[in-house]
Structure 1
Amino acid sequence: MFFIAGGTGFIGSHLVRALAGGSYSTRCLARTPEKAEVCKKIGHEAVIGDITDRESLKGRLDNCDIVVHLVGIIEEKGDMTFKRVHVEGTRNLIEEAKGANIKHIFYQSALGASINSWAKYYKTKAEAEDIVRTCGIPYTIFRSSLVIGKSDGFTEKLKELVRLGPFVPIPGSGNGKLQPIYVEDWVKCFLKIFSDASRITHYASRIYEFGGPEHLTYNEIVLQLMEAMQIHKPLVHIPAKLIKLSLPFSGISRKIGSLLGKKIPTVTGEQLGLLQVDNICDMDSVEGNFGFVPMTYREALKKFIVNG
């Protein structure tokens, strides 16, 4: 049986739908009864709990074989910090997994995860990886580049930005490269490994780094999204330092925007910095690791923007 933490998040919601109705037994961890009901409606077990609250996990993993850890945040809000969610949450989940005699751990990390990274997001992802790798339980870790699909946070913010004004602001040069992979292709990668859950204990512990079949600059990503949305506006490059200086006033801007019926997307200094650097790996990484060629960004956009 799979125990899925994060089954109602972006990637998790796609995965649990793919697992529904098959030969997989699945128990989802949900933070609220409403979210638990979502999992139950598609045929999975559901329990209430939160990986940042160790006590809430007691007994939740009993009789499960594989823990699928998908919980993560891309922005700190209040006490939900990268350290608390990525590091402390992972430690709580792993300690419970040990007590429940879990046979395999899957962890969704990120391409770029490094203990030496200046970005707290990548640094804490790497710290979480260390907890998984040293726990004594066989593991699989996915380090994927940008995962995109219906309701993904990155694309939703970009859509808001594209709709906002007479031009689309681009932080810095916009030449930082990403390697977007469609979420349904991510699910295929997962199922290539876990299609026979009874055999997973025979797999050696491994980290997979992968992304889509293209290296695209941020400029190219914005232009292809605009094309899919049938919006035509100029791109205006603004120095990233100038945007960072304006961040303390972003709350005021959002309030004014809401009064004018405009939704202004949130952005952090760290996110701005990450857009300036490449987040890429081998363009054949999915084919090499999982035996199929994933969709291009334009093909994926047709699935969830044009036809969605």
Structure 2
Amino acid sequence: MRFVIIGAGAVGGVVAGRLAGSGAAVALVARGPHLDAIRRDGLLLREAAGDSRHHLPAHATPAEVDWQPGDVAVLAVKGNDTQAVLEQLPRDVPVVCLQNGVANERAALRLFPDVYAICVMLPSAHLEPGVVVAQCAPVPGILDIGRFPGGVDDTSREIATHLTKAGFVSQPRPDIMRQKYTKLLMNLGNAVEALCGQVEGADEPAAILRAEGETVLKAAGIDFATLEEDKARRGDILQLVPVAGSMRGGGSTWQSLARRTGTVEADYLNGEIVLLGRLHGVAAPANETARRLVVDAARTGKAPGSLTPAQLLAAMRTS
């Protein structure tokens, strides 16, 4: 099995480096200065235990990959980039969605018979070309996997075995989407962190977004793991540690604003709740406001922390 990791950013890059370090066959798809740096110097994985550099085949698009029997396409791009990636893949390759949100798997299943979902619990960072940072140690992350829409098979078991060998905690789970919907609820707060930063008072708007999200999921008849179940699965596995003297700055949406990428995946996080609410007759104004504000912040190049929690709350309450 060769892992073709499409999107070698924070999550995809850490998984790629760890898999390669454990002896797995890995190829990358990246873009821009990040791709240039990887081709020139290799992928630098920074961890609390030390740095490692991985010289891996790196391509600009999935269409450039020399696809082989036994390859697995691992999508680690943001949800807003998924469709463009899917259209460039060979139709017989298994597709693994190493992504936040819950829309990627459905998009993949429209085109591919074998689709797998991974619930990503992997604090990581990518803020400079060629470099990714694993921010938990000694275990870098929890990456449970299952078939979409449900079930477990030999491929999901083999992938879990590779991930475990690479140092992750990974279990095949037949109910993986139940876990991913719980992660979606957590990711609704990504917009708050990006807009307000990690400041006092940010918990309140994040709690409003989550409560609204739970209401919408229940109206849609979508099951999700409880907070107690999620806490039990995480336990004390994920321990944030300083890497090169620095602690974690922020999550994926925060990093997108910090890097001035121009886009964020809020349409597939907060926007998923908005969509489900519209489909099932439940208003989701708080999530629509958060989605709109963070998308606008990315489009206009605003840095993280452009709003105070009070300003965000006021906008949410008047929407």
Bin for the TM-score computed over the shorter chain = 0.3 to 0.5
TM-score by length of 1: 0.45
